[in-house]
């Protein structure tokens, strides 16, 4: 393997690649990678960085992380064939220390989560991080600004690799949605209605000093299971008075696919795109569910 030399600390902050330690002879034009990013060298000048495709995590895998504060980025490959469609279910499990998360896919940001402990969590701004965790471990993040070292996940190395860059993260009061205990396996749903794009990007902001721990799993897209239901009603008694006439679809948080549990996500389509309206729905089982913000907040009988 050839040995190359950089004029910076990392490939990300360098301007050129050389073949000698004295940095006098430029390397040949072409693409150079550190396992996380790829940069093209042209005329002894490195062009902007691109994500290394082989370093993206394939869907169906879980990342377990323990480390210090920082901004952690993951690019997941969720498929590019006509059968790679449906709901992409992302399970984010922070420890007690608050961490923020947001997902970007196809030009949209997804930052709404449902916790198996207490249901819906989301920033009041749709493009911001949503910080979840245990109130007992809050390090005073609300209203603070942090300059965080940036790390990109490399599937090849099974680790987060420092990019050499820093990012400023402002935590507004409306971004913080903590629980009375650790929130458990929080679920984000990203609809994938076409074969492409194949990649989605996840950013996790860990601003509290000391050890931070989280797991994140990106499931491959799947079409959801239909559940026979009534349309939405503003009143439980009204919902109970009619028979099911439509299909709704759930993403499990405490339930299972096709069987609704408390704090499950509910949609009008099998892609997980149309979030169910607030109100009451009677199921073919005779149970009635109440939905708020697309999440089941009550299950009762008629």
Predicted pLDDT of residue 155: 85
Expressed as residue numbers, the domain containing 255 is 226-301
Q: pLDDT under 70 in the chain at which residues?
A: 1-2, 35-36, 50-54
Residues with Cβ within 8 Å of 254's Cβ and at least 6 positions away in sequence, in order, are 116, 261, 262, 263, 264
Pair (57, 46) in one structural domain? no
Pair (204, 231) in one structural domain? no
Predicted pLDDT of residue 174: 98
Predicted pLDDT of residue 92: 98
Q: Is 256 left (phi over 0), alpha (psi -120 to 50) or beta?
A: beta
Pair (241, 209) in one structural domain? no
Q: pTM of this prediction?
A: 0.85
Q: Using omega within 30 degrees of 0 as the cis cutoff, is the peptide bond preceding 45 cis?
A: no
Pair (91, 137) in one structural domain? yes
Strand-pair partners of 65 = 214
Pair (65, 129) in one structural domain? yes
Pair (19, 80) in one structural domain? no
Residue that terminates a domain, selected from 164, 184, 218: 218
Residue that terminates a domain, selected from 166, 192, 218: 218
Predicted pLDDT of residue 156: 78
* 250-287 pLDDT per residue, tens: 999 999 999 999 999 999 999 999 999 999 999 999 99
Q: What is the longest distance spanned by two Cα atoms in the chain?
A: 82
Pair (121, 172) in one structural domain? yes
Predicted pLDDT of residue 54: 62
How distant, in Å, are the alpha carbons of 87, 169, 273 from that of 290? 22, 36, 19
Predicted pLDDT of residue 201: 96
């Amino acid at each position: 393997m050839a040995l190359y030399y950089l004029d910076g600390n990392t490939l990300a902050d360098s301007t050129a690649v050389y073949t000698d330690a004295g940095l006098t002879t430029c390397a040949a034009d072409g693409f150079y990678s550190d396992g996380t990013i790829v940069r093209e060298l042209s005329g002894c000048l490195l062009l902007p960085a691109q994500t290394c495709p082989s370093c993206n995590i394939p869907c169906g895998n879980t990342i377990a992380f323990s480390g210090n504060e920082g901004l952690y980025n993951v690019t997941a490959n969720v498929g590019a064939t006509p059968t790679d469609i449906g709901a992409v279910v992302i399970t984010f499990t922070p420890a007690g220390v608050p961490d923020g998360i947001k997902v970007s896919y196809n030009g949209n940001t997804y930052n709404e989560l449902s916790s198996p402990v207490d249901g819906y969590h989301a920033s009041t701004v749709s493009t911001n991080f949503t910080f979840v965790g245990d109130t007992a471990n809050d390090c005073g993040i609300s209203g603070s600004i942090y300059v965080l070292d940036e790390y990109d996940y490399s599937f090849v190395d099974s680790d987060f690799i420092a990019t050499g860059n820093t990012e400023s993260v402002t935590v507004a009061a409306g971004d913080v949605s903590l629980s009375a205990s650790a929130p458990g396996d929080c679920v984000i749903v990203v609809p994938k209605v076409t074969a492409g794009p194949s990649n989605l990007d996840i950013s996790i902001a860990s601003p509290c000093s000391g050890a931070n721990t989280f797991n994140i799993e990106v499931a491959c897209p799947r079409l959801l299971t239909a559940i026979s239901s009534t349309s939405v009603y503003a009143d439980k008694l009204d919902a109970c008075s009619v028979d099911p006439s439509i299909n709704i679809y759930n993403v499990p948080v405490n339930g299972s696919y096709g069987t609704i549990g408390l704090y499950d996500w509910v949609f009008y389509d099998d892609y997980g795109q149309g979030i169910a309206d607030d109100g009451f729905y009677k199921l073919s089982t005779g149970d009635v569910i109440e939905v708020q913000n697309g999440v089941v907040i009550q299950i009762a009988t008629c």
